[in-house]
Chains A and B, each alone.
Chain A
Amino acid sequence: MIGTIRTSGRGGMVAAALARTAQAVLTALAASVIVWALLPLAPGDVATRVLLARGVQEISAAELDATRAELGLNDPLPVQFLHWIGRVVQGDLGQSFTSQAPVTQEILERLPATLILLGLALALSILLSLLLALIAVGYRDGWPDRAIRLYTQIGAALPTFVFALLALTFIVVGLQMGRVLSDASWRAALVPAFIIGLDRAAGWTQLLRAGLLEAMSSGYAEVARARGASRRRILLRHTLPNTALPFLTAIGVSIGALIGGAPLIEAIFTWPGLGAYLLEALSARNYPVIQAYVLIAALSYVTAALLVDLIALALDPRLREPRS
C-alpha cells in the first residue's frame, strides 16, 4: 500500500499525503460501487420484497409498478447508483426490510456497542503485544521469552472465536469471574475485550519480537553499539521506531479482520452491536442492512489504512523523498 508514492522536495510530505488521501477516496468510491451492486444483484425482486416488508400480503401489478417508480428501479443502473450514493452521503441508508425503520437509525443505536468492544480490544492488544515483545527481547532466550513464545504459538493456533468461546465458558463463567451480561457499557466490555485482545496480541507479539530482534542485529544497531550506546538506548531510540512501521501496517490490515470478525465475536459474547445486527439481517435476507454493514466496514477499513499510511509517511523519510 505504501512505498509507491515518490515525490521530492520540501513539499514531499504534503504531496505524498494528498496523493495517498486521493487514493483512499478512490478506493472508498470503488467499494461503494460494490456495496450498491449488492441490491441489484440480490436474488428476487426488490419491489416485491419491499412490499412484503411493508406488510402487503396480496401484491397487485399496479402496486409493484408504483413501488418500482417510487424506488427509482426503472432508471438506468448508473442513475440508480447516483441516487443511492446521494442518499448515502446525506446519511440515508434505506429502510430495513423487516422492521421498516430507517437503517441509519438502527445502525446508530448499535454502533457504539461495537466501537466500544472493538476499540477496547484493539487498544488492549496493542499495549499487550508491545509489553510482551519488549519483555521477550529484553530477556531473550530466558524463561520469560520462552513463556511468551509458547503463548504466541498457542495464540496463533487458536482462532479468535474458539479462544473466546473457551475463555468465556471455562474461565469467566466456570470460575464465576464475571457475569455474561451485555449491556454494551465500558464495564461490560472489559472482559470480552481482554479476551479478544489476548488472542489478537499473540500474532502481533510474534511479529514485533521478530522485528525487534532483526532490528537489533541490523547494521545501524551494530554501529550504535560500536559507538558505545547502551542496549536500552538502542532498543528505544532505534529499533523500536523502525519496528513500529511494519507493526503499524499489520495493525491497519488487522482492523479489517477485526471488523470482519465482529459478527462472530458478538455472537459469542451476545453483544448487541453491529455484528449481531448483521447476523439477524443475513438470516432474514434483509439486504439494506447487509448493504449498510458492508459499507460501514469498508469505509472504516479504508480510513484505518489511510491513517496507518499517513503515520508511516510522517515517520519514515524514505517514503517521501527519493534516493539520490
Chain B
Amino acid sequence: MQPVLTCKGLSVAYATGARPVRDISFSVAPGECFALVGGSGAGKSTIARALIGLHGRGTRIGGELWLGGRDMAGAGPEAWRGVRGRQIGFIAQNPWSGCDPLRPVRDHVAEAWRCHALPASWTEIAARLDRLGVAGAATRMAQAPHTWSGGMLQRASIAAAGALAPPLVIADEPSSALDADRAQSVLDVLRALGSAVLLISHDIGLVLRNADRIGILHDGRLIEQGTPDTLRRNPQHAQTRRLLAALDPMPPRRTAPLPTPLLRLDGISASYDRGRVRALEATHLGIAAGEIVGLQGPSGCGKSTLLRIAMGVERPAGGRIWRAAALDRPAAVLPVFQDPVASLVPHWPIWRSVAEPLSAPHLPRLSRGARRERALSALATVGLHGIDPEARPAELSVGQCQRAAIARATLARPALIVADEPTSALDGPSSWQVGRLLREAADAGTAVLVVSHDTAFLTRLADRVIAMAPGRTLTPGKGARPHRAGEPAGGIAVGA
C-alpha cells in the first residue's frame, strides 16, 4: 500500500541559519502508529509543525515531503490549506490552550468542517463525541472548554482532527497534559479513529506501549528506527540506550528500614472549601526511616492534602497523627517540589540556595566560605560538579535545578523528605537520576515520601506504593472545585 506520509531527506532551516532538523527520512503506512521520540531540543515539535505546514515565516523546508501523492515541501499557503484537515489531522499538546476559550466546545469541533466551507451538524458532532466516550455530549458540548476535563477535551480535539477522515493524524504530545491513566485512554481513542497516527512524544515508555514503529530523534537527526521490540532488545545508538535507561530498574535499597515508624497517620480525614469538599476520608499512612513510600492517584484524590498533613503544615479534620521524636527537631522535614526552577531562589547563586539550610539558627554558625564549601561538595554528590556555582537557577536546565534542590534537601540531613511530583517537569533520563538520588537519601537513613501521578516511576522507585481513590465532592456546584494536583492550595504563611 501507498504510505500516507513519506519524508525523504527532510530538513528545516530557520531564517537565522539554524537548522533544527536535518536530513530526516521516514514513511508512515496507512493505519499504523509511527512515533517520533526524543529529549527536549531534539527537534520533535519542529518536525510536527513542518509536516503540517505550520513552520513560521522565513523558515524553509528542504527535501521531499509527500502527502496524499503530492510533494508539499515548498508548497504555498493555499496548497497547505487544502491539505490540512482533509489529508492530515492535528492534535495539540494542551487541550485547553488548543481551544478558543470564548467559544463552546462544539464550535471547536465544528470548525473542522466550517473552515473548509462544509456544513456541520450538531447531532453529528454529538454522535461522534459520544462514540469517543464523552458522556452526555449533546448537552456538555454547548459549554465552554475550561469547564471540561483534559481527557474529555482531548477527545473533542480528536473528534475535530478526524472530522474529515484524514488518512493521517499528527499528535504532538497529546497526553502530556493529562494524568497517566487518562493519557492511555486518550491514546486508545486516538488509535480507534482508524487513521494512521504520527505520535510525537518525549516519553519512551508510552511510545513503546503504543506505537507500531518508532523513530529516535536526537539533535535534529533521525538516528534510529524500528519496532518497539527491536529497539528494546537491540538498541544501536548510544542515545537510544540513554532514553531506554530511563526504564531501567531503580537502584535497589541497601539498608533495611527500621521497624519503628517515623510517622503514622491513622484514619485521617480532611476537607476544604469550608468543609464542602471532602479531600480525604479515613486514610492511613505510615513511614519508617530509610523507607521510600509512594503516594499515587489521579488528580483530585487528595495526594497533596495528605502530603501537607504529613509535612505538618496542615491539620486534618479527624484522625490520629503519631510523630517520632526525630520529627520534632527543627528542619526535620524538607521538601522537593514539582517546579525545580521555582524551588531555588531566582536571584541567588545556586550554591547559596543549596547552602541555605545550613544557615538556620538551630545549627552551629558557619562562615560563608565554609557554607559554600559544603554546598559545592553537596552539588558534586548529585553530579553537578561541572556547573558554575555562581549560576542563577534560570541559567541551569530543569533537571539540574531538581538535582540542586535534592542536594539542598539532603544537606541538612532531615528525618523526612517529602517530594511532590518531583519528576513531572523532567524527561525520562532526568527522572531516573532524581529517583536514584532519592534512593541514596533513603539509604542514608532518611524517610522519603513521594507523590506522583506517574505509576511506572513510583512502582520502580518506592518500597511501598499507596494508591488513593479520587476524593468525593460533598455538595457539587456552589463554587466547589475538585483539587488539582500541583496547585498550591492553602499555602504556608511565612509570618505565621
Contact = CB atoms under 8 A, between A and B. Distances in A.
Contact of A223 (B86, B98, B103, B482): B98
B84 A227 contact: yes
Contact of B102 (A227, A242, A323): A242
A200 to B, nearest CB: 26
A238 B100 contact: yes
B225 interface: no
B78 to A, nearest CB: 9
Interface stretch (A2-10, A125-133, A294-302): A2-10
B11 interface: no
A321 B147 CA distance: 7
Interface stretch (B89-97, B249-257, B309-317, B393-401): B89-97
Nearest to A321: B147
Interface stretch (A143-151, A256-264, A312-320): A312-320
A241 B102 contact: yes
A220 interface: yes
* Range class of the A interface residue count: 20 to 34
Contacts of B444: none
Nearest to A221: B100
A324 B161 CA distance: 24
B54 A226 contact: yes
A228 interface: yes
B101 A220 contact: yes
A71 B100 CA distance: 59
Contacts of B147: 317, 321-324
Given A228-B84, A241-B102, A322 B479 contact: yes
Nearest to B477: A8
B375 interface: no
Nearest to A316: B102
Contacts of A318: 101, 144, 146
Given A225-B54, A227-B112, A8 B84 contact: no
Contacts of B102: 241-242, 315-317
Interface residues of B, number: 40
Given A316-B102, A323-B481, A219 B92 contact: yes
A15 to B, nearest CB: 11
Contacts of A54: none
Contact of B479 (A6, A230, A315): A6
B477 to A, nearest CB: 5
A226 B162 CA distance: 12
Chain B interface main SS type: loop
B320 interface: no
A224 interface: yes
Contacts, number: 98
Contacts of B295: none
Given A222-B92, A317-B146, A321-B143, A227 B101 contact: no
A229 B111 contact: yes
Given A7-B479, A324-B149, A227 B94 contact: no
Contacts of A237: 100
Contacts of B211: none
A229 to B, nearest CB: 4
A100 interface: no
A130 to B, nearest CB: 18
A227 B97 contact: no
Interface string B74-94: 000100011111100110101
A87 interface: no
Q: In the complex, which of the residues B90, B101, B482 has the most CB atoms of chain A within 10 Å of its own CB atom? A: B101
B289 interface: no
Given A242-B102, A321-B147, A322-B147, A223 B90 contact: yes
A13 to B, nearest CB: 12
Given A6-B479, A233-B115, A317 B84 contact: no
A324 B481 contact: yes
A227 B481 contact: no
A317 B143 CA distance: 9
Contacts of B116: 228
B160 interface: yes
A74 interface: no
B479 A324 contact: no
Interface string A50-87: 00000000000000000000000000000000000000
B26 interface: no
30 contacts: A7-B479, A140-B57, A219-B97, A219-B99, A220-B97, A222-B54, A223-B99, A223-B157, A224-B100, A226-B52, A226-B54, A226-B89, A226-B90, A227-B84, A227-B112, A227-B160, A227-B161, A228-B83, A228-B86, A230-B81, A237-B100, A316-B102, A317-B144, A317-B146, A321-B144, A321-B146, A321-B147, A322-B479, A322-B481, A323-B147
Q: Which 9 A-B pairs have the closest CB atoms?
A: A219-B97, A226-B90, A317-B144, A229-B115, A228-B85, A228-B84, A223-B98, A220-B100, A219-B98
Interface of B: 52, 54, 57, 77, 81-86, 89-90, 92, 94, 97-104, 111-112, 115-116, 143-144, 146-149, 157, 160-161, 477-479, 481-482
Given A219-B94, A220-B99, A230-B115, 13 more contacts: A6-B479, A8-B478, A219-B97, A223-B157, A224-B100, A226-B52, A228-B82, A228-B86, A317-B147, A318-B101, A323-B146, A324-B149, A324-B482
Interface of A: 6-9, 140-141, 218-220, 222-231, 233, 237-238, 241-242, 315-318, 321-324
